[in-house]
Structure 1
Amino acid sequence: MDSRRRARREARESALLTLHRAERPKIQQQFADLKRGLSAVTDEEWEGIPEVGNLTRRKRQRNERTYVVPDSVLVGDRAKGEYESSLDARQQENGGFDTPASDGALTNFVEIGQARDKILSLKLDQASSGLSSTLPPGSTSAFASGTSTSIDPKGYLTSLDSVAIKSEAEIGDIKRARMLFDSLVKSNPKHAPGWIAAACLEEHAGRLVAARKLIKQGCEHCPRSEDVWLEAARLHNNDDAKVILANAVQHVGQSVRIWLAAADLEGADVKARRRVLRKALEHIPNSVRLWKETVNLESSPQDARILLARAVEVIPLSVDLWLALARLETPDKAKAVLNKARKAVPTSHEIWIAAGRLLEQEATREPTSKEKEEGKVKSQDQRDKELLAVEKTIETGVRELRKHQVLLTREQWLKQAEQAEEEGSPRTCEAIVKATVSMELEEEDRYETWVADVQSLLDRSKIGTARAVLAYALRVYPDRASLWRSAADLEKTFGTPESLDSILEQATKCVPQAEVLWLMRAKERWVRGDVGGAREVLVRAFDTNPESEQIWLAAVKLEATNGELGVARELLGRARAVAGTQRIWMKSAVFERQQKNYDAALDTLRTAISKFPKFAKLYMIQGQIYQHSLSNIPAARAAYSNGLKACPKEPILWILASRLEEQDNKSIKARSLLEKGRLAVPAEERLWAESVRVEERSGGNAQAKAMLARGLQECPASGLLWSMSIWAEPRPMRKSRSVDALKKSADDPLIICTVARLFWAERKVEKARECESGSRNGDCWGWWMKFERQHGTEEYREIVTRECTGAEPRYGELWAGVAKSDAWAGRSVAEVLEEVADRLV
């Protein structure tokens, strides 16, 4: 049964296979008759059959076969390059050069050499042309011709520098990018950036010809893309670029960039540029940029005016064109132009600002000689009226802009005011500020906002705008003394003496109780040499502030400095009777001490101490008179002792008492007093510094270092102690010590001065000068002056003196000792600075 089933199955499969072969015969069976017909093909027909290409897209392996070269070939090649230097007998008979050929002619070796040189020259020219095709654009080959006998070394080296040698990785990247861009432009030939990128790649690879071919195809496929045309013009030389852009205009005639590029190709030929731009305006009459470029090429104002008049007719909404036309017109015509512009563009704030500037220029313009001859000189009243018209114009402009829903923010208006200031129109700037500075502000926020605006404007050096904001703020808040003080400081720094005096006069009228404003006004007049004016100001200040301590003392200082000692003494007596403050009593005692009236000074001090027993300076002055002027050590000790009992928290009293004991050769008691002072006033750097100095003067350097270390633990941010610590270290250790000091107290002027002195010691002059900073410590100013004496010029020394006078230093151990001494009473800051610089060691 199994065999029968197998037989039936095989018969069935054989029938199916036969049927299948009948329907789909094999290729061998299909071409069997053709194969049989090949027997009749002749040899000529066989040789005429073309070779079949490799359709599998696979690289076939080549069977590289090598053959052994026969020895005869090697021997022949070896003799090929040899030269025969000897002549045979026949050549010697013919003169050595010309030999008869087989046909009887003579062989000329000179001509053969010339021909060889010519061939070599041609080969060098070919090499040169091949090299120049591979060089980057702009580089030149050193081999101009094969016959050249000289080479420009500079040009040759430049060409070598410009040839970029690409690495294998770069070459691989270029190949991969080339394949990608090739696929991109083939799959999407209408994609302009693809053609541009492919051309840039070829340019980067040094194949400029291929890049030009690619961009040419890009222009053919993307004729509406201005970028493709511009790139094509860039890749070609000037003449070819003109042709390319001329073709571009046929396809993208509305492209402003194409026309501008075509005008740029004309170079310095103004007529050609003007011709191109005017042709462009025929195609694109509504392009503001083309009109501007065309006007800029005109050398005659009349022609430019005609062009702009036509431009504003074609493009009436262009503010820039209206403003340019107004600038070229006469003042009367400019007003008419701006009126037309305002009607055409009612939403432009630039037109209103330009109108204000025009009015300001007319008001402040100097009359010409012809106007002076004809008597057409404007009076001051007329000028003031015209300047008021500026404010009205800007106010009207702001109002009209709001009607047309043009809502510029307050910050934007301030920017416009700053721009007007930069362009030389201060009254327009003030008008803009006056009309807009209070916009969008709540009433309770106005003062703080305006103060912040003034500070911000001063930081950006916008003085006129800051002055205008201050002026408006003073109109709103005339009773704010701080605003008047800011205005006075502004005028003192950036204004004139007359403007400062005017501001101070208004300030003293609006805020008569502000003592500092009266004092500033009197001082400014005194500095200018107007002593009578200063007295007048102080008299008016007395009437307003009869009990003002500062005004009384200012009057006394004025009279004492000008030699009116009797008047000063009388004023002090009246001040003690009227005001009677502790400072007035102290100044009275100091005045008598400076006049060497020690008995009167001591009497004044006794009375003052009975009135003000807690005022430490009275005890200091009393002790100093006994110690230095009268040499009465016990009385001085008693004065300091009484002061310490009354004012135990005053560190200067402890220091003076310690120095008195040290002067009396009682160092142990001096140390004891300082220790008591440190207990009474903990964390006081001056007491610790004095303790260190006592140890140094006693010769105990180890004890001084230990005391200094304790002081730094107690006062870790003390600039005075850190400065002493830096100088106590050996020279190699001072720099690292100064770094630690800057980390602890970087803003301390003593630390900065110490770092500057370290640079000074290392002869780093510029760094030392950069480290100097203005402060109220007079010792720092003294070191700066000493430094400029050694390394600076007279100009630098004048700068130090001027800045020191402006800073008015009060502190500093040596400075206070000089400025407050009787010998230097009434001296100027500059004189004290010179003396301090002389005493510094």
Structure 2
Amino acid sequence: MANRQNKLAFLSMPAPASYVAGLGRGASGFTTRSDIGPAREGPSAEAIAEAQAKRGEEAEVDPEQFQDPDNEFGLFAGTTYEQDDEEADKIYDEVDEAMDSRRKARREAREQEEMAKHRAERPKIQQQFADLKRGLSAVTDNEWESIPEVGNLTRKKRKVQERTYAIPDSVLVGDRGKGEYENALDPTQQETGGFQTPADGGLTNLLEIGAANETVLGLKLDQASATSSSSGTSTSVDPRGYLTSLDSVAIKSNAEIGDIKRARMLFESLIKSNPKHAPGWIAAATLEEHAGRMVHARKLIKQGCEQCPKNEDIWIEAARLHNNHDAKVVLAQAVQHVGQSVKIWLTAADLEGDLPARKRVLRKALENIPNSVRLWKETVSLETSVSDARTLLARAVEVIPMSVELWLALARTESPEKAKAVLNKARKAVPTSHEIWIAAGRLLEQMANDPEKAADQRTKELDMVDKTVEMAVQQLRKHQVLLTREQWMTEAKNCEKQGSVRTCEAIVKATIAMDVEEEDQLTTWESDADVAEKEGTIHTARAIFAYALKVFPDRKDLWERAASLEKTHGNPESLDQVLAQAVERCPQAENLWLMRAKEKWLSGDVPGARDILDKAFVANLRSEKIYLAAVKLEAENGEMNAARQILARAREVSNTQRIWLKSAVFERQQGQLDEALTILSTAIQNFPKFAKLYMVQGQIHQSRTQYPAARGAFLTGCKACPKEPALWVLASRLEELDGKSIKARSLLEKARQTNPKNEMLWAESVGVEERSGAAAQAKAMLSRALQECPASGILWRMQVMSEPRPSRKTRATDAMKKTESHPVIISTVARLFWAERKLEKARQWFERSVDAAVAQETDDGDLWGWWLLFEREHGTEEHRNAVRASCVRGDPHHGQVWPAIAKDLANTGKTTQEILELVANAL
């Protein structure tokens, strides 16, 4: 107990001098409602500092306690400000400005970026409605007027408070008596016998009104019967005419009627304020016509003609509003006021029904307006006799000697000799017209193409076409007529379309080099030829290439493009002619020699192809391509000994790795395996880094079931060419064929380490697991493969086809995104549509797959194989032929099935179409 009292003894002790209640919790004094008077003052600063010192806390330092009271910026501000200080301040200011200018561009760019981001997140109201404001520009006046006025829409949202009022008794009594009927007469009626009509007639006599209506109706019926009886019909109403009249009635809405009234008021104001304004009268009459008031429309247009007698449009509109007879009268009045108007006379001629009357009107028009080209043309066009037309045109060119159209028309009606004289006169009368010069060139070409003329004379006259066009360019330039190069090209294309090929070529020769710098000539002319070919003007493109080849005779690419143009749009003779000139100008161009030899071979001229290749050997002694082409030519035509001799000579002269490989393959195809192995041994010594030599060597040993020798060939090739995936795949398949799947996996694992991210090796690894029956390992391997090759079309196809049928579409969608629409994936999607019996979609996707393959230059032959397989089952023979033609154009060489079948010895010499059939069978 004593200890307890000692423990609590501090409660009765006085507090320390520096003690403040609650100071440790941050309290410094407070006041409650129960307090009376001012709150207790807190501890002084000295007391707080003493308490903090006892607890070991550091006192807070006021950052401004050392501040100069006279100067809040520094203690040295009161010192003397000398010139050195001013210079220092200037230097500091310049440094600050320089630093600020360096950061200014970045700061402003950052601020603009932040502002743009802010505006993108929170655009201004005017930006939000900018598109709507732009849309207001398309609002018509009628739409603008039909916009309703803005009302107070807020009242519609307010709930209207219903109020009730007390109804007087008189209203209730009146409502009560509404439905009552009186069965007895009023006393007044009993006395007087009825109500008396007031003297002012305020009550309506319904009997008289009914009688009047009957009378009016009877009159209308009589009129209708009279009309029908006069026309000879048995009925009073024509049903067909009645229905037709109902169809012709224009039912107008209230809005349209209002618009017509408003427009009528505007037009009335217009014609009253400006009665000499013809378009106002025309518009007012058109409005009345639209409203169905034809009489008023004719009246208005008549007043307009009186007010504006010199305006031709108002007379033409008046003629349109009247019938044919009245329109002639109107136009006769119009001629008295505007007799020089061509439109009035032509309109009057159109109103005439028979040909003589039209001719009479037009000739009357020519008497008043002899210098109108249009009237002369219309008059000539009505003539059925060539001699009469010639006479009119002769008179026309006398009256209007500057009209090129009339001169050309006169030349077309004359014989060639007389037309030549006419064009000479036209050239003198209009020396600035290029059309006359071109017409002269076409006339000379026409005269030269006369089959009765001799070849020498025809050649001379065709040369005159070139000279005429050259003279045309010179004379036009002399008379300051400077047509642009593009205009001349347009004229050349027009001549070609009209059948004047030589004139087209002459224009190209004379003008193709105009306004073109020397360094830009080749690219400009190639571009012109491409444009002409796209537009279908092949002769123009041919002429451009011919001129370009004269300027650049040693450009191989230009000769190849010219040959390609002839192959696409020409004939075998023209193509051979171009290629003959090409190999003569560029004898070192191997491709041109091969193109010419191939075209000769395809045309069936095998000796001619041999002669071309012999000449090519002379010009290109060590050319690998020419040697191989000669070997292929002899082998395809059954001359095996000649092909073997050419290969032997090629190994001695050219000595390239490809020639050695072709020699070995040739002997293998002929069944001479030992000879092929001998050639391969020598070739491997000469070219140890050529992987295909090891492949062929191993395949020959494998075909003989000499697995150790084949294994040695493949492994030697893998060591010599470790970056060749095909060698590793062949080695793996050999081990798998020999029943050593573990060894096959090991080889592929090593191959993937040597060739990372190779889809062929990963696909082969997955195939090994599938063929060994390890489905789980195959799935895991495929997942690893996709991680390393996420854009592989082959791996994604395997992934899609390994999925259950319901989830294949989803997986195919992922594959399309990952591979960016790879042709293999597109073909896989087509197969999915095929499985779902969506045949048209499948056909479209198969076509898309081969188009994508051609565009991306991935000539996967399996795509055509799947498409042909589909068309065999669901297509017609026309569809199958389209697939075969597409495959021949694509000329594929790759794929998973195609190369194995194409390189099979049993398929040696087969065409692309035959291999396609075999691939479809294998798939």
**TM tier relative to shorter chain:** 0.7 to 0.9
* CA–CA separation in structure 2 for the residues paired with 1:758 and 1:328: 68
CA gap 1:453/1:731 in 2 versus in 1, 3 angstroms:
farther
Post-superposition Cα deviations, 1:76-101, rounded to whole Å, max 9, x if no partner, equal 9699999xxxxxxxxxxxxxxxxxxx
Write the distance in 2 (CA, Å) between the matches of 1:300 and 1:519: 60
Q: Structure 1 789/311 Cα, relative in aligned 2: closer, same or farther at 3 Å? A: farther
Contact 1:622 1:636 (C-alpha < 8 Å) held by counterparts = yes
Q: CA deviation at 1:71?
A: 8.6
Select between 327-336 and 253-262 the one with higher mean Cα deviation: 253-262
Indicate if the aligned counterparts of 1:123 and 1:146 stay in contact, CA closer than 8 A.
no
- Tell me the distance in 1 between the aligned counterparts of 2:906 and 2:717: 25
Q: CA deviation at 1:818?
A: 2.3
* Aligned CA distance change for structure 1 residues 649 and 125 (closer, same or farther; 3 Å): farther
- Does structure 1 residue 420 correspond to structure 2 residue 495? yes
Cα displacement (A) at 1:547? 0.3
What is the alpha-carbon distance in structure 2 between the residues aligned to residue 714 and residue 71 of structure 1? 113
1:681 to 755, 771, 775: 755
1:827 aligns with 2:913: no
CA distance in 2, matches of 1:677, 1:156: 93
Would the aligned equivalents of 2:224 and 2:236 in 1 still touch at CA under 8 Å? no
Cα separation, partners in 2 of 1:391 and 1:714, compared to 1, 3 Å? farther
Alignment of 1:508-657 (within 5 A): 508-627=583-702, 629-657=703-731
How far apart are residue 720 of structure 1 and its match?
4.0
Question: How many equivalent pairs are there?
Answer: 712
Instruction: Tell me how far 1:492 sits from its aligned partner.
Output: 0.9
Query: What corresponds to 1:299 in structure 2?
Result: 384
User: How far apart are the structure 1 equivalents of 2:333 and 2:204?
Assistant: 65
Bigger shift: residues 354-363 or 742-751: 742-751
1:161 and 1:663 mapped to 2: Cα distance?
Answer: 87
Matches within 5 A, 1:8-19: none
Q: Match for residue 552 of structure 2?
A: 477
Alignment of 1:150-161 (within 5 A): 150-152=238-240
Alignment of 1:693-732 (within 5 A): 693-698=767-772, 711-712=785-786, 714-724=788-798, 727=801
Once residues 896 and 647 of structure 2 are traced to their aligned partners in structure 1, the CA distance between those partners, rounded to angstroms, is: 29
Return the offset for 1:413.
Answer: 0.9
Cα separation, partners in 2 of 1:79 and 1:362, compared to 1, 3 Å: closer
d(CA) in 2 for partners of 1:71, 1:656? 127
Q: 2: distance between equivalents of 1:630 and 1:624?
A: 9
Write out per-residue CA displacement over residues 716-773 of structure 1, whole angstroms, 9 at most, x where no aligned residue.
5544445555555666666666666566666754455455556665121774586453
Q: Is the 8 A contact 2:769 2:775 kept in 1?
A: yes
Which sits farther off after the overlay, 175-184 or 685-694?
Answer: 685-694
Partner Cα separation in structure 2 for residue 272 and residue 730 of structure 1: 85
Distance across 1 between alignment mates of 2:597 and 2:514: 38
Relative to the length of structure 2, the TM-score reads 0.71
Shift of 1:118: 6.9
What is the alpha-carbon distance in structure 2 between the residues aligned to residue 741 and residue 125 of structure 1? 85
For the 8 Å contact 2:469–2:507, the answer to whether it is kept is yes
The structure-2 alpha-carbon separation of the partners of 1:743 and 1:387, relative to structure 1 and needing over 3 Å to count, comes to farther
- TM-score in terms of structure 1 length: 0.78
2:333 alignment partner in structure 1: 247
Contact 1:124 1:146 in 2 (8 A): no
Q: Indicate the residue corresponding to 1:275 in structure 2.
A: 360
Matches of 1:322 and 1:636, distance apart in 2: 87
Instruction: Please tell me the residue identity of whatever aligns with 1:384.
Output: T
Shift of 1:202: 2.4
Alpha-carbon distance in structure 2 between the residues aligned to 1:822 and 1:609: 22
Cα distance change on mapping 1:598 and 1:296 into 2, 3 Å: same
Alignment of 1:365-384 (within 5 A): 365-366=450-451, 377-384=452-459
- Equivalent residue, structure 1, for 2:25: none
Of 192, 216, 221 in structure 2, the residue corresponding to residue 120 of structure 1 is 221
Letter in 1 for 2:239: I
Letter in 2 for 1:762: K
Verify the 8 A CA contact 1:759 1:767 in the aligned structure 2. no
Residue in 2 aligned with 1:467?
542
Identity %: 64
Contact 1:121 1:146 in 2 (8 A): no
Change over 3 Å in CA distance of 1:749–1:412 after alignment to 2: farther
Cross-structure match for 1:389: 464
After superposition, give the CA deviation of every residue in 1:62-118 in whole Å (9 maximum; x if it has no partner). xxxxxxxx9999999699999xxxxxxxxxxxxxxxxxxxxxxxxxxxxxx999877
Cross-structure match for 2:436: 351
CA distance 1:621–1:286, shift in 2 (3 Å): same
Greater Rg, structure 1 or structure 2? Answer: 2
Q: Structure 2 counterpart of 1:763, which letter?
A: L
Give 1:195 shift: 1.7
The 1-side partners of 2:914 and 2:868 are apart by 12
- Per the alignment, residue 422 of structure 2 pairs with 337
Residue 256 of structure 2 corresponds to which residue in structure 1? 170
Other-structure match for 1:663: 737
> Is the partner of 1:813 in helix, strand or coil?
coil
Q: Give the aligned partner of residue 260 of structure 1.
A: 346
Of 402, 410, 435, 1:325 maps to 410
Aligned-partner Cα distance in 2 for 1:653–1:121: 110
SS in 1 for 2:239: coil
User: C-alpha deviations, 1:700-729, integer Å up to 9, x for none?
Assistant: 666656655655554455444455555556
Q: Deviations over 1:649-671 (max 9, x none)?
A: 22222332333333334444444
What is the rounded CA distance, in whole Å, between the counterparts of 1:431 and 1:572 in structure 2?
Answer: 49
Q: Which has the higher contact order (CA 8 A, sep 6+)?
A: 1
The residue identity in structure 1 corresponding to 2:761 is L
Q: 2:289 aligns to what?
A: 203
CA distance 1:722–1:276, shift in 2 (3 Å)? farther
1:433 aligns with 2:516: no
C-alpha deviation, 1:214, in angstroms: 2.2
**CA RMSD between the two structures:** 3.4
The SS at the match of 2:531 is: helix
User: Matched residues in 2 for 1:759 and 1:435: separation?
Assistant: 59
What letter matches 2:447 in structure 1? Answer: E
SS state at 2:897 partner:
helix
Query: How far apart are the structure 1 equivalents of 2:243 and 2:708?
Result: 92
In structure 2, relative to structure 1, the CA distance for the partners of 1:777 and 1:424 (3 Å cut) is farther
Match of 1:222 among 308, 314, 318: 308
With over 3 angstroms needed to count, the CA separation of the structure-2 counterparts of 1:223 and 1:559, relative to structure 1, is same
* 1:294-349 CA distance string (max 9 Å, x none): 11111111111111111111111111111111111101011111111111111111
1:680 alignment partner AA: T
The 8 Å contact of residues 353 and 394 in structure 1, kept in 2 or not, is answered as: yes
SS in 2 for 1:764: helix
Deviates more, 1:655-664 or 1:293-302: 655-664
Instruction: Write the letter of the residue equivalent to 2:357.
Output: A
1:408 aligns with 2:488: no
Worse-superposed segment, 554-563 or 675-684:
675-684
Structure 2 residue aligned with 1:15: none
Where 1:563 maps in the other structure, the secondary structure is coil
Aligned AA (1:122): Q
Q: Which moved more, 1:197-206 or 1:740-749?
A: 740-749
Provide closer, same or farther for how the CA distance between residues 475 and 273 of structure 1 changes in structure 2, counting only shifts above 3 A: same
* Native 8 Å contact 2:826 2:845 kept in 1: no
* Partner Cα separation in structure 1 for residue 683 and residue 283 of structure 2: 93
Change beyond 3 A, Cα 1:440–1:600: same
Given that 1:331 and 1:358 are in contact with CA atoms closer than 8 Å, whether structure 2 keeps it comes out as yes
User: 1:777 Cα shift?
Assistant: 3.5
Q: 1:292 to 1:708 in 2, by over 3 A?
A: farther
User: What is the SS of the residue equivalent to 1:317?
Assistant: coil
Aligned-partner residue type, residue 223 of structure 2 = L
Aligned residues of 2:224 and 2:237 also touching (Cα < 8 A): no
1:352 touches 1:397 (CA, 8 Å); kept in 2? yes
Q: Distance in 1 between matches of 2:301 and 2:227?
A: 27
Note the C-alpha offset of 1:468.
Answer: 0.7
Which among 734, 754, 764 is matched to residue 840 of structure 2? 764
Q: Secondary structure at the match of 2:481?
A: coil
